[in-house]
Amino acid sequence: MIPAAQSLAARRIAALAPIIPVLVVNDAADAKPLAEALIKGGLPALEVTLRTPAALEVIAEMAQVAGGVVGAGTLLTPKDVENAKAAGAMFGVSPGVTQRLIDACSANELPLLPGAATATEVMALFEQGFDMLKFFPAEASGGASALKAIGAPIPQVSFCPTGGVTPENATVYLNLPNVICAGGSWVAPTSAIIAGDWGEITRLAADAAALR
């Protein structure tokens, strides 16, 4: 899968809903009900971060839930890509990017949403064929005003801002012409996951799905 094809696939996934939940899940037993709650609320694209020992098992469980498109976040190495693909990930997300990571995603047929925070990084990825990127860390990198400024000379590239995106500022990002969706963790708070309050997560997801 060449970068342009990876980017096209990532763009289609990004367009499924205005928010992609960024999920940190510690117990694989929570995977299916969490995915079901988010999908029921209108958020089918799910990013499971590789930050817990259970992450790959969580991906494997969520990949079996009808209507969902599960991806692996925090891809850092080619081994992460291989493990995520083997677990059933349908796309990958990285905080930044290296050539080895791009090559690994190509070899494993895994659509990639690579991270970029500067105009130089955006140009370098666009030159390779990526026109759908993750803007990370969004708030720390200047927020919506920085992303708007990048979009002026590089309107061909679209983004999923992640990092500091909240219900309060999400619409500011989503109203930018170069933003397709945003990534946020607030739709699946740890407290609700631990409590098994799937109804609350569905409510949060429905509110997020209505953003624009």
Helix (H) or strand (E) holding 132: strand 132-135
Percent of the chain, pLDDT > 90?
98
pLDDT at position 132, please?
98
Residue with tokens 């400024």: 149
Cis peptide before 137 (omega within 30 of 0): yes
pLDDT at position 151, please?
97
Cβ neighbours, 10 Å, residue 120: 9
Q: Is the pLDDT of residue 212 over 80?
A: no
* Tally of domains within the chain: 1
User: Token digits for 125?
Assistant: 């990825």
Q: In what order do the strands lie in the sheet with 158-161?
A: 115-116, 132-135, 158-161
Helix (H) or strand (E) holding 180: none
**Which residues are the active-site residues?**
47, 134
pLDDT at position 101, please?
97
pLDDT at position 2, please?
86
The CATH number for 36's domain is: 3.20.20.70
* Burial tier of 203 (Cβ tally within 10 Å: 0-12, 13-18, 19+): middle
Per DSSP, 84 falls in state H
**Residues in the chain, overall count:** 212
- Expressed as residue numbers, the domain containing 137 is 3-209
Residues 6+ apart with CB under 8 A from 5: 111
Whether the full predicted model's pTM is greater than 0.85, yes or no, is yes
